[in-house]
Structure 1
């Protein structure tokens, strides 16, 4: 595959094959209660101030939020995903409605410098790091592609998600521990779409996040709760979201690239 923006070959790993199988079906998950009323407002909140800014969306999937960034007035917008099938879906959407968004196949652990971006969006990307070293490689890719002071904004599975507390099945998702002798924290996530979509991911600790990004040249690391929309409460009632509030499966991670030295 020769689709990286610099013309170099993009390496395919075994993990991207799960997304080649899922393909455009993955977008069905965006209609489930947890994605529509929590993921969507949370990620759009991360893009609220992108007018006139250059945005890189790593692990862009089918490009839902990549296209939102452009509609919100971003300048250059580039979506990158490791799965060729996902990028095919992105480009098909661009053909249907031309927004001027660029897309490329690439591994976020190994990407070269693609430009100087003001904002780097990463929804779920870091939950595919199977070790602290892999997480740091991703963090260094982010630093390499942000200008000094640029913002990293990530939507991630909650590092403190507790499998002994309420689970998110009522909102359309299953989270299950997945035995893996080689890696800690491997989980299987299933979206209850038709057909069901299932994929593997990892749960790095909050400390692992902060250490990886500090080592890669970031500062001001912080965490925010995922946002439940007012529409979600009105549609289902406050009590419906009690399990979500008791054990939120997702959260938001922020940091900024240091003004001097990116460690990239």
Structure 2
């Protein structure tokens, strides 16, 4: 699989090359409480039934969940990310521990048809849509790469997150609104690793998501809560998670392409 997924040089339509600066340091964020006990079980829940199926992991980063999909029995996994540095790290991991995962550099706003995938996983991808038009491009790219009845499964920043009740730093992340006259939904996310890792994202509304994906030919768009692992409750106690439960920063978003019941 060539870079840009079709042999062309990838070029970002938004500031995702910020991840070239972060590189492998981003993996440190996977050790923080929110990622260990909320993000991870939530994404693994999205992958629970992928055995024997093909999975396209868009915005795969260093390939953490691409590798999980393969371990869970997916017959084919392709991870695509706009950051050459992130893909370089993912490929290096594949060389050390060969699982049969493919990787490519590509921009989700102009991704060509790479195949008819059963499941398209997108963890945080849509929070790099800086406008409704960008979201529409991403939605069309997703539709292009799903078979009829194939499912889009996404973890996204919660459109209704209350920045006036910012989460305590003990969870490992900070979320704040960034002043930007052109993009009133721009946010700054900091993972409190050592050293801290910060990046810019956006907070599209539910309407922007639903209009973009239904317009691209997907149906049954739905929202669902993320999962808090019982291990997190055991390790920290139930009261520790009260602020998270009252104002979760993430939510799950799902759609199905075209006709059929989506179960394949």
TM-score for both structures, normalised by structure 1: 0.96
Distance 1:150 1:17 in 2: 29
Displacement of 1:17? 2.1
The answer to whether the 8 Å contact 1:168/1:249 transfers is no
In the TM superposition, 1:19-38 aligns within 5 A as: 19-38=19-38
Runs of 4+ in 1 over 3 A off after TM superposition: none
The answer to whether the 8 Å contact 1:225/1:251 transfers is yes
Secondary structure in 1 aligned to 2:244? helix
The answer to whether the 8 Å contact 2:4/2:106 transfers is yes
Unmatched runs of 5 consecutive residues or more in structure 1: none
Displacement of 1:16? 2.2
Distance 1:169 1:81 in 2: 28
Unmatched runs of 5 consecutive residues or more in structure 2: none
Match of 2:120 in 1: 120
Aligned-residue Cα RMSD (Å) equals 1.1
1:164 and 2:178 matched: no
In the TM superposition, 1:47-126 aligns within 5 A as: 47-126=47-126
Secondary structure in 1 aligned to 2:112? coil
Secondary structure in 1 aligned to 2:174? strand
Displacement of 1:166? 4.2
| Count of residue pairs brought into register by the alignment | 259
Residues 211-258 of structure 1: CA deviation (Å, up to 9, x unaligned): 111101010000110100000000000000000001000010001001
Question: 186-195 or 161-170, which moves further after superposition?
Answer: 161-170
The answer to whether the 8 Å contact 1:165/1:246 transfers is no
The answer to whether the 8 Å contact 2:16/2:128 transfers is no
Match of 2:196 in 1: 196
The answer to whether the 8 Å contact 2:13/2:109 transfers is no
Distance 1:129 1:22 in 2: 20
Displacement of 1:167? 1.7
TM-score for both structures, normalised by structure 2: 0.96
Residues 143-174 of structure 1: CA deviation (Å, up to 9, x unaligned): 00000010000000000000112424220001
Secondary structure in 1 aligned to 2:42? helix
